[in-house]
Amino acid sequence: MPYDVFNGDADGLCALQQLRLHQPLEHSHLVTGPKRETSLLRKIPLVDPTEITVLDISLRANRSDAERLLQDGHRLTYIDHHNSGPIPEHKNFISCIDTDPAVCTSVIVDQMLEGKYRDWAITAAFGDNLIDTAKTLAQKTNLSSSQVEKLQELGELLNYNGYGRKVDDLWFSPEELFWKMQGYQSPLDFYGEAPEFLALREGYAEDLRRAEEAPTIFENSNLRIYQLPDAAWSHRIVGAFSNLKARNHPEQAQVVMVEKPERAQLVSVRSPKIHPVGADEICLRFEGGGRPAAAGINDLPMTKLEDFKQALIQRFCV
């Protein structure tokens, strides 16, 4: 039985949605998790060789398991936009990796399918905070401005749902949300009919209200750092809050940190929108990852906090 492995955020969901609307699978194993749970290939057990489709998770974080699966005879189709590191040279590894800052995984799938389900790609691009990319794609459709606004809200809410310390923190598990989405050819129908959409809208509004009260612990004209407490709502809103601040202050790098009980911080970094590079470089230095415009660190020890702040200042303020 084939496996579909995907990030639990808007991009992973909408990428798989496009693929399975185009090529339905009667039976497949879904492997996913909250957005920050990226080492997903390790969840695939010892099974007979099969087809494995991987969407929107970093190859860098999954390389050893990808190599294991290839050695076991599996065929991997890897579609992603994150910093990948070296790409395996293997006859059963199909690489569709594009790290262009203006591209997300759903846009890659849209290109592969020649725009067949483009509304879902637009939704994902909005969710990944690629506003210009989403609007450029929308110009190639017959969508009205109000419809585009609906896709933007849906994308942002699907992305918001992906964040959390564990699946129980999310309003809906990514598997549950994907199966709900499969009942809709168009994201506009999901927007107008799915009760899950209204639940996400309400949850997002309350979590954002709390985040707006968070203190700023560093700020200048180039960089702003926020501190959120260790709470389920903080972990849910950290990505959406980072994206919102990046859009509202395009000249600044935005960093949102969330306290963790084990004397560490979860970190979300957004490069300035006017020059969206550098986030992945910094996070990789502290055992994180991501892409040039947006990256993160799951566990930044408090002992490394000052080094991290200085790295941010050197990258974005000098």
CA distances for 61 relative to 3, 37, 38, 66, 74, angstroms: 18, 10, 7, 10, 19
pLDDT tier at 232 (50, 70, 90 boundaries)? very high
Mean pLDDT of 150-175: 96
* 136 has pLDDT over 90: yes
Query: Smallest Cα–Cα separation from 290: which of 229, 234, 221, 243?
Result: 243
pLDDT tier at 46 (50, 70, 90 boundaries)? confident
Q: Which CATH code for domain 3-202?
A: 3.90.1640
Q: What is the pLDDT of residue 318?
A: 82
Query: Smallest Cα–Cα separation from 238: which of 260, 261, 269, 215?
Result: 269
* 262 has pLDDT over 90: no
Q: Domain extents for the chain?
A: 3-202, 213-316
- Give the model confidence (pLDDT) of 86-108 as tens digits: 999 999 999 999 999 999 999 99
Q: Please name the residues in contact with 174: beta carbons below 8 A apart, sequence gap of 6 or more.
A: 6, 8, 12, 13, 32, 33, 34, 161, 162, 167
pTM over 0.85: yes
Average pLDDT score over the chain? 96
- Give the model confidence (pLDDT) of 16-45 as tens digits: 999 999 999 988 999 999 998 989 999 998
- As beta bridge partners, residue 265 has 259, 300
Q: What is the pLDDT of residue 111?
A: 98
Hey, do 3-202 and 213-316 end up sharing a CATH topology, with the first three levels equal?
no
Query: Which CATH class for the 213-316 domain?
Result: alpha beta
